[in-house]
Amino acid sequence: MSILEYSKIESVEDCKIWPNFTQWSLFNCENSNLELYQCKHCNFQTELTLLWKKHTKEHHGFKKTEYVVRNYICKKCAFKTHFSMKYLRHTCRRSRRRENTKIVVNPNKKHKCDQCDFYSNYKHVINAHKISRHLTDTEACWYKCDHCPYKTKHRRYLNIHMKSQHLNEQDIKWYDCSHCSFRTKYLQNLNIHINARHLDEDYVKWYECKMCSYRTKQQSNLASHVKVHHLKQQQIKWHECQKCPFKTKHRSTLKRHVITHHLDEKEIKWHECQKCPFKSKVKSSLIRHINGLHMDEQDIKWFECDKCPYKSKHLSNFKAHNKARHLDKGEIKWYECQKCSFKTKYTTNLKNHVNVHHVDKEDIRWFECKKCSYRGKQRSNLINHIKMNHLNEEDVKWYECEKCTYRAKVKSSLKRHVKARHVNNQTE
């Protein structure tokens, strides 16, 4: 059993090795005796644990030896390591960030893909791009999961898949938020969560769109925004479904579509709520469900409108409210139907309109109920049908009127009731 000795260092300058540590990226160090292992029974010293263990076993007759392993802990974050060089590299990076000294990339030196217009300042990004975009299935070296049919062209994605899908619960290292109940398997997700939810506005690094007033805290969101709103039609790379006419600008949306619509029942991995019978094929839907129904009041972050009493638990709902209620006419972007005079502020409404009114009968994708003969053109209609007809009483979430005893299983029914019974009466 090893004994851990914790060595906390405020900064790299406090470390005895630091004067000899010149280039963190190259590990150039003039002193070869960075960390010596000392035998407790004689004057033997070595830099390698293997030699130290061998010496102790051969010269002192100990089969199992207790040895000291230094554990270097960063005071600024959760990073810790047994290796001094890794600690120095980590601390050096943090120190450089604090001094606002960044690695200078020559803007004139661009690495360009030889098969398309994609370019980057970094060569490894170009290599990853070529593997993802231009290697055919037969040319690619596939990394396959041993537990399921998943495969990928990148080893990193396979590691992420294994961690998210097949790791035992007791082996998972969770990263917990110190400000709320959020937890994740990935440190990167924790950092994104903290930046999005808990970081003071003064310290936020905003990514701003050069073509409109949009800004976001995440670079990936900015890239998605530009792709959706500002790319010309000929610049868009569509991701098309091989089993139906569906196509999208985002690969993640295509994956979600395939999981939702085309996976066989035996291939589906259901994400189940631990507090009610709800389950979903998509993890994000389960997270939204938990945040909407089961999160403790003190952990809820409300998105409040500064122009009316409206508030919501979901940012998407808050944005939809602002677009519907408070945008000036000149600021509204209308989505118009190409086959009739219908127009709307929301792309989802336009898609629903086209599916209901303009799609040929043979091309309609029906959402069918598994418990009766009902079918609908919209998933929301099927969900409402199940709530109204097939859900057990104890599983129903009732929407109750604040002004009378009326209650409904569907939120839209409550809205119609309020508008008909209470709003109209007040105006009269």
Is CATH 3.90.1150.200 the classification given to domain 285-427?
no
- Long-range CB pairs of 162-168 (<8 Å, 24+ gap) are 165/269
Smallest CA-to-CA distance from 145 within 127, 135, 130, 160 is with 160
φ/ψ of 234, rounded to 5, equals -75, -15
CATH 3.30.160.60 location in the chain: 133-264, 285-427
Cβ contacts of 369 within 8 Å, gap of 6 or more? 375, 382, 385, 386, 390
> Per residue in 168-206, pLDDT tens?
877 888 888 888 878 888 888 888 888 887 877 777 788
Both tokens of 423, joined, read 């709003």
**Start-end of H helices in 332-420:** 347-357, 379-389, 411-417
User: Are the C-beta atoms of residues 388 and 410 closer than 8 Å to each other?
Assistant: yes
Return phi, psi of residue 398, to 5°. Answer: -85, 140
Cα 201 from Cα 209, distance rounded (Å): 18
Gap between the terminal Cα atoms of the chain? 82
Question: What does the pLDDT read at residue 62?
Answer: 62
Dihedral of the alpha carbons of 122, 125, 126, 129, in degrees to the nearest 10: -160
Q: What DSSP state is assigned to residue 406?
A: -
Burial class (CB in 10 A: 0-12, 13-18, 19+), 194: middle
pLDDT at position 193 is 84
User: What pLDDT is attached to residue 234?
Assistant: 75
CB neighbours of 206 closer than 8 A, spacing ≥ 6?
215, 216, 217
**pTM for the structure as a whole:** 0.50
Collapsing DSSP states into helix, strand and coil, what is residue 176?
strand
Task: State phi, psi for 85 to the nearest 5 degrees.
Answer: -65, -40
In a 13 Å sphere around the CA of 171, the CA atoms on its Cβ side amount to 7
Question: What stretches in the chain show pLDDT beneath 70?
Answer: 1-36, 47-50, 62-71, 75-78, 81-85, 92-109, 424-428
Coil, helix or strand for 167?
coil
Strand, helix or coil for residue 305: coil
Structure tokens at 161: 């898949």
CATH code reported for the domain at 133-264: 3.30.160.60
How confident is the model at residue 328, as a pLDDT? 79
Q: What is the CA radius of gyration of the chain?
A: 29
For residue 275, the tally of other CB atoms under 10 A from its CB is 10
What are the tokens at 140?
Answer: 């690619």
The closest alpha carbon to 88, from 23, 32, 38, belongs to 23
Whole-Å CA distances, 159 to 116, 145, 275: 29, 9, 30
Q: What is the C-alpha separation between 133 and 139, in angstroms, rounded? A: 12
| Contact criterion met (CB below 8 Å) for 382 and 376 | yes
- Block residue for tokens 């990076």: 93
So what's the pLDDT on residue 71? 65
DSSP state, residue 3: E
Pick left, alpha or beta for residue 68 (phi over 0 → left; psi -120 to 50 → alpha; otherwise beta): beta
Residue from 252, 253, 286, 254 nearest 269 by CA: 286
According to the model, what pLDDT value does residue 32 have?
A: 37
Listed in order, strand segments (DSSP E) in 59-168 are: 68-73, 80-81, 111-112, 119-120, 143-144, 151-152
Question: Residue 37: beta bridge partners?
Answer: 46
Cα–Cα distance for residue pair 71/84, rounded to 1 Å: 8
